[in-house]
Amino acid sequence: MARRKYNLVSLLHPTITSGTIPNHVIAAGKRRIGELLLKMKKPLEARDAYLRALELDRTNADLWYNLAIVNIEMKELSEALKNFNQALELNTKHKLALFNSALLMQESGDARLRPEAKQRFLIYVEQDPDDANGYFNLGMLAMDDNKNEEAERWMKKAIKMQLGFRSALFNLALLYSQTGRELDALPVLNELLVYYPEHVKGLILKGDILMNHKKDTEGAKECFERILQMDPNNVQGKHNLCVVYFEERDLLKAERCLVETLALAPHEEYIHRHLSIVRGKIAALSAAGQQVSPADGASSPAVEEKKTPLEKGKNDKNTQKASPAKKPSQSKEQ
């Protein structure tokens, strides 16, 4: 028996050929239309297409999943989670629904959702053991729960599965730096910077560790100067370079540097405070009749509160967005 073909017009207007096209075929056509509309950045029209398709085929897990993706594009996150869950009720092993619903739970910041998110990621990695993203997100959940040893295991697994995994490398180094293992963070940061030599947060973290834990001001200076070569207006890199000058006892250079940094961020209180400390030191030396030179100065009070990104931020977490009928791509950092 010859296979019947249906054109796009008949799928868009099924009433023209009422009774001649099975509902699941019309629904499949509307699903494809929805995918095209979403790619065209028309989420409202895509949502309407999926809703019409679901009127014809409510047992199709892929339709519920794609509707959830549209919800995410429209910032309707609670609705997205509801539709992901509907897809999983119909197909408990729907990989993309497992992954993206768990990701949505993780990124919600709601600690109550973490156990279920973890369970879904675990099921996901059972189904797709070669995808490093699953292990990475398990590591991020463990970090959120302060389960440091577990987080370390998952991050190392992700890096083993995918060499040069940017987010996993940075967050493993961050984990070490937050748990008193700064020297363990250095080789991880070095590996990160081999793959991504312009990774600003990696450079700032490395410079901070070199300055505060290795007392390597030259190495720290190199990190901060590299940042400023890429972005002369980077406040964190500029400020930390000023602190290096203070550590090197070059008070005049530190003062000029902090004045320049303050021009970039005039409302940052810590820069005002550090500039006052440096100027106070210069004034004290001048009052004592001592010449202020690069050899003058003492241990740096300005180091007390360097503005360094030692906390996990959204930019360092997985921020990937899945799209219909596509496998999750590698975690991105903005």
pLDDT per position as a tens digit, 131-153: 999 999 999 999 999 999 999 99
Does residue 220 carry a pLDDT above 80?
A: yes
Average pLDDT on 226-233 reads: 98
DSSP letter, residue 21: S
CA distance 207 to 193: 12
Does residue 69 carry a pLDDT above 70?
A: yes
pLDDT at 125: 98
Between the alpha carbon of residue 116 and those of residues 99, 102, 128, 148, 263, the distances in Å are 12, 7, 18, 19, 47
* Mean of per-residue pLDDT scores for the chain: 83
pLDDT at 42: 78
pLDDT digits (tens, 9 = 90+) for 18-52: 456 545 655 555 556 666 666 777 778 888 787 88
Average pLDDT on 195-206 reads: 98
- The token pair that represents 87 in the structure block: 């897809």
Residue type, 65: Y
- pLDDT tier at 328, thresholds 50, 70, 90: very low
CA distance 106 to 321: 13
pLDDT at 297: 47
* Range scoring the smallest mean pLDDT among 15-24, 46-55, 93-102, 169-178: 15-24
The domains located in the chain, with CATH, are 1-82 (1.25.40.10), 214-318 (1.25.40)
pLDDT digits (tens, 9 = 90+) for 179-195: 999 999 999 999 999 99
167-177 per-residue burial string, b: 16 or more CB within 10 A, e: under 16: bbbbbbbbbbb
Does residue 66 carry a pLDDT above 50?
A: yes
pLDDT at 37: 62
Does residue 324 carry a pLDDT above 50?
A: no
